[in-house]
Chains A and B, each alone.
Chain A
């Protein structure tokens, strides 16, 4: 997915000379084409995320579109105050891109797990939060990110994730994409783990449970209509996210449901409120924490029981 993002950004940058990449010494093997094509619009700040974000803000204040880019928590938590005070408060056109959301860098350990980012970033006024589910979404989201005026958080995967969608997708910021329809329950996912939610729906179909699957690629602004429709039409919602259970997609969906006044079955499949110190690959950790298709399907059955 990261390669798809970089390919699209390069294409857009060829036609739009306002686009700058401002990095903090991360991106080996991916960012070189941009650096070679636009040496005057590519700045490696060294290992200095606060300066990276401040410089990006300063560029944006002069009319540029500045993309900060690094892995996991580095371009968010390390420089969160610069994102809040400088970028968001001044409503600047800075795009904060992380490679490897959630547990993507599993075995590297807690420092490289981006598992609180959605909650934190969505609490910043005027910051859009997008987590593409697959490569087609990632490509479309790159265009949407540049077209959007203002602060934007883009949570990218880092490898060759399987396609969730078949054929062309209709990607619009703040508008969820229905992967498949169903009438018994709705699985709402965000990011690459949504593919596992869809696999779970396939398993549930075998048990006679018709599950709707929605890719909520934009967590902020969230698609309230899709959530309310899912609540009304399927009577139960399960959120699936590779994120701490506090304040992420599940929290955002719960806020909408609670305000809608509809009492429905609801469950959040997320990481527990603890640091993931056990060691394992991305896939292994996801299975461990209940994100295997069987695990997700089991949670759904439990909710509906």
Chain B
């Protein structure tokens, strides 16, 4: 990959992280860790992978992007604002009275396909979208970004069995696999490992990658579907709250935002001015 492109991804991911820090700090809201762990994949998705048009968010041929881990919605708002789906100033209203942007992702915001917030809802809906696209002979893809917590939900497993049975190869799941849940480390809550063979046995074509390596993200997401007749699953290993060193891989970052001093320190760590 040419270094300019890599720099572009990293620059956008840094902007997303900085926006999330400011938004959660201003709103005194939570889920910072879940936002920061998926910043790199959002940067790559919205720069090089998703066929979307900020001028026409309802464009019929757009790729559908469903964020199932709706609690990380601020990161999607940030990338949508950066890409021009709505005015940047809207980010300043996140979580506030009469604000434009709610804590969990909302389809009332331009560019957002679907509202979520309760886990396990994204994949079944994405499956229905993929089914419709296939029956209508359409070429767009359906991406569903999920958390490891999402994978605890029974509805997710209902949907992934259905998708494999119906060979929905226009469907791509990306799991932000940060291995930290709301009450503890995934390994202590519900261990998903060995995850890859589990998913393969369920009929999915699976790639396991580093979810912070933009080069890998671009290369992998450019190759979907991995196999004809199988839905694709990208298990993207990440670090919760990536980019804020003292909060990385902590359960607390699932709920936390930063105080004034921490905001300054975190932005400095990112190399961003306050």
| A residues adjacent to B (C-beta < 8 A) | 40-41, 43, 45-46, 48, 50-51, 53-64, 66, 81-82, 85-86, 89-90
Contacts and interface: CB of A to CB of B under 8 A. Distances in A.
Interface of B: 107, 113-118, 120-121, 123-133, 135-136, 154-155, 158-159, 161-162, 166
Contact of B162 (A48, A53, A62, A82): A48
Contacts of B128: 54-62, 66
B118 to A, nearest CB: 6
Interface of B is mostly: helix
B158 to A, nearest CB: 4
Nearest to A18: B132
A100 B35 CA distance: 45
A85 B117 contact: yes
B155 A58 contact: no
Given A45-B158, A82-B155, A57 B133 contact: no
Contact of A62 (B124, B133, B159): B133
Contacts of B127: 51, 54-55, 58
21 contacts: A43-B131, A43-B166, A46-B161, A48-B155, A50-B120, A51-B127, A51-B155, A51-B158, A51-B162, A53-B124, A58-B126, A58-B128, A58-B129, A58-B132, A59-B132, A62-B128, A62-B133, A62-B136, A85-B121, A86-B125, A90-B114
B129 A54 contact: no
Nearest to B106: A89
Contacts of A54: 121, 123-125, 127-128, 155, 159
A55 B115 contact: no
Which of B107, B125, B126, B129 counts the most chain A CB atoms within 10 A?
Answer: B125
Contacts of B154: 50
A121 B223 CA distance: 44
A40 B134 CA distance: 10
A90 B107 CA distance: 8
A56 B131 CA distance: 10
Contacts of B115: 85, 89-90
Given A58-B125, A85-B115, A85-B118, A50 B158 contact: yes
A48 B158 contact: yes
Nearest to A43: B131
